[in-house]
Structure 1
């Protein structure tokens, strides 16, 4: 009977200890600031000028009949007049 009483007491103490740990963990999670939202990064395609080989975003490049250029002067120099 004595062992049963000791075993019951140990189980109650263990249950109280575990319950308190879960409550502390929940309180710490609630106190933490929320994670910042994930930003989606836009992927920009990079192209090279046909004349000088400089790399630039495709959105800033000039497209001619014979390729992609970094400036209007290079587009005219290469003979790629049209758009």
Structure 2
């Protein structure tokens, strides 16, 4: 009787171990929220870096910049000409 109980515990433990390994081996698909529509890309007016429009910093004239520093430098450059 003791032997059957030990055998049952070993079988259950091996089954749990194998199911966890099988679950880890299956490649996971990206979540549905990661599969969004394409975003509009814009170029920084100062350095030309392309970035999503949502991440861009714009000035009053509507030009896009990659950072506030480049927006400031862009204003300085336009003031010189």
Question: What is the TM-score of this pair, normalised by structure 1?
Answer: 0.45
The answer to which structure has the higher helix fraction is 2
- Per the normalisation by structure 2, the TM-score is 0.46
